[in-house]
Amino acid sequence: MTRTLILAAHGGGDGSDANALLRKTAKQIAERIGFDVGLAAFRLGEPSWRDALRGATGDFAVIVPVMTSEGYFHGLLGEEVHAARLAVPARFFLTAPLGTHPDIAELAGDRLRTLIGSYDLDPQRTVAVVCGHGTPRNPESRRATVALALRLARQKHCVSCIPAYLDEDLRIEDAPRRLRGYHLVVLPFLIGGAYHATSDIPRRLGLSMKEVDPREAPRGLAAAGLDNRWMICDEAIGRLPGIERIITARAVEGLSERAGSEDSATHPRGVHAGGDDRRVRLGTRRTCLAMWQAEHVAERLRERGGVVEIVALETSGDRDRSRSIAELDGDAPFTDDLDEALRRGDVDLAVHSLKDVPLKPSPEFDFPAILPRGAPGESVVSRDGRRLADLHAGATVGTSSPRRAAQLLSLRPDLVPVVMRGPVDDRVRQVRQGRFDAAILATAGLVRLGLEHEIAESLPLDAFLPAPGQGALVVQVRRADERVTRLVRALDDAPTRAAVAAELAFLATFEKLEGVAAAAWATTAAGLRMRARLIALDGRILWDGVIRGDTPEDVAAGAIRDASRALAHAFSTTVVHA
């Protein structure tokens, strides 16, 4: 049996140094782990993917995509593998891309720690920026960049880690302006050391390779000290010491497979394979925050042995950004398409922000896990860093929430709430572009996207109550699917579930009350306690109270009782004065 290893990359043309290095690497790895033939193949360069695949006429070939993600070019490679299977008498195993291997995060984290130490940077003043392609042709490219940024952030080498892109916002050239006051360490999430890594990214950042003395900094690094901060751009992650170990790990995956099934010939290991109780497809919206949330849940499931494929979909609320959230059609504009995907069996579970889930979901669904809550409160993002009290009279404040608008008017009746739609990162961008003087956004969303540096002020919870369920993530499954329910239930956090149950029960009573917004925040730190509020849309506080109790039902009932009495009094007083 002839065993062939093919490292498949985009390539930078036949004369590229990156292509030559990959050819050498393929031969070395093949010899070391027992392949008979080792070669590299390229979309741009020789041999081409097609020629290499159709030349593999032996019994077995393993193809390792030397790419960051299952994005556009990975899809093209998959088509070539499928065509080769029909054309030559060989069996093929296509592994997952190099950039999705979990050790990539460790490699990048080690590099980040080294760079911070080399320049003696204060970690609390340093932001890491993972720069990927982010091509709109395929959302997987962006998802892989977000996933790597998330894993790096968990390592806590610096104050924050955010994704940036070459082909979409946040564009890498905008990062220095958006992150004023912070040291920046840019890690190009690219495999090859071709044009984008060696020239394009440093140029966009205004850096020159000549600004660094090679005797004082790692090879291939561009950096400059300016405005009392450092801006450092590293070479491509795929060129770092240690990448060969990860390529080898992917190749070994292929050797360990018998590669006899139709699925293993065309799909990465662990995807689209039936019969395994721990394989699931997780549905999510396509926004950056939703992808973060999906990756967060996927990581928790993987820690428990799950094999997770993320499926990104667009909801009606994402498609219609011309109206405020209150004006959108239906009760679930941010979950409707995911509900349909669950019904059809296209996905096995879905992850949502709890506040987006309708209070009366379809009885065919269940929610076996509510994850530990993130920051529940609200933050102000302003164009020039001003706090809410410092905004000038008449300043425009973007929000799509009647609750936020009402509380804003309660605190500052001289400000002007203006409808703002779009995902969190886009809303921040709208403020930076001058379309609004400020915006009020959920703190949890900003933190999860690594945008803490954009926060001008975190509003006190007692003064500005959040939406019931804000900051909590919920996992939705088909009620009849016992297999997935068992897998997901381990993620449930009982204290968070109790707190949000009280909040949502309060909201359910007043949700449809015209001209009134409800807000609530419950905690379980010292017994169950909830602060809740009803606000008229003109900013008048109709009721505000704190309720304690033993169960979510008791707390909600007490709040509903007191709020209803206050409303009845307010309405009767209004009638008398009329």
φ, ψ of residue 344 in degrees (nearest 5): -75, -15
Q: What is the mean pLDDT of residues 185-210?
A: 82
**HSE on the CB side for 216, CA within 13 Å?**
10
HSE-CB at 545 with a 13 A cutoff on CA atoms is 19
> Over the chain, what is the mean pLDDT?
85
Lowest mean pLDDT: which of 79-93, 94-108, 262-276, 539-553? 262-276
For residues 16 and 475, which has the higher predicted lDDT (pLDDT)? 475
Q: Which residue did the predictor score with more confidence, 109 or 266? A: 109
- Residue 157 is given by DSSP the state S
Output DSSP code: residue 454: G
Active site residue 356: yes
Residues spanned by CATH 3.30.160.40 within the chain? 493-578
Q: Does residue 273 register a pLDDT over 80?
A: no
Which one has a higher pLDDT value, 325 or 170?
170
CATH of the domain spanning 493-578: 3.30.160.40
- Tokens coding 344: 């059809």
The correct CATH number of 3-99+241-266 out of 3.40.50.1400, 3.30.70.3270, 3.40.50.300, 3.40.140.10 is 3.40.50.1400
| Catalytic one of 348, 356, 437, 481 | 356
Q: What is the CATH number of domain 275-371+478-491?
A: 3.40.190.10
- Report pLDDT digits (tens) over 407-440: 999 999 999 999 998 889 889 989 988 999 999 9
Calculate mean pLDDT across residues 450-467. 92
Q: How confident is the model at residue 266 (pLDDT cuts 50, 70, 90)?
A: very low
Total residue count of the chain as it appears in this document: 578
Q: Residue 317's pLDDT band (boundaries 50, 70, 90)?
A: low
Helix axes 139-155 and 103-118, enclosed angle (nearest 10): 60
Question: In the sheet that 222-226 helps form, which strands lie side by side, from edge to edge?
Answer: 160-165, 126-132, 183-188, 229-233, 222-226
Domain ranges in the chain with CATH number 3.40.190.10 = 275-371+478-491, 378-458
The whole-number average pLDDT for the span 459-471 is 95
Which of 213-217, 278-282, 443-447 ranks highest by mean pLDDT? 443-447
Distance CA 98, CA 573 (A): 68
CB neighbours of 521 closer than 8 A, spacing ≥ 6? 376, 377, 461, 465, 466, 503, 530, 531, 532
Looking at residue 519, its amino acid is A
Q: Which two tokens stand for residue 573?
A: 């007083």
| Among 301-305, 349-353, 370-374, 525-529, the least confident range | 301-305
Q: What is the pLDDT of residues 49-101, one digit of tens each?
A: 999 998 887 788 999 999 998 888 888 999 999 998 888 888 899 998 999 88
Contacts of 263 (CB under 8 A, 6+ apart): 272, 273
d(CA 552, CA 505): 8
CB burial of residue 436 (10 Å; 0-12, 13-18, 19+): buried
pLDDT band with cut points at 50, 70 and 90 for residue 311: confident
Residue 575 pLDDT > 50, yes or no?
no
Residue spans in the chain of domains classed CATH 3.40.50.1400 = 3-99+241-266, 103-239
CATH number at 103-239: 3.40.50.1400
Q: Which residues contact 416 (CB under 8 A, 6 or more apart)?
A: 394, 395, 396, 397
- What is the second-level CATH architecture of the domain 378-458? 3-Layer(aba) Sandwich (3.40)
For the stretch 351-390, pLDDT in tens is: 999 988 988 888 999 999 999 999 999 999 999 899 999 9
**Per-residue pLDDT at 247:** 92
Nearest to 146 by CA among 194, 77, 99, 114: 99
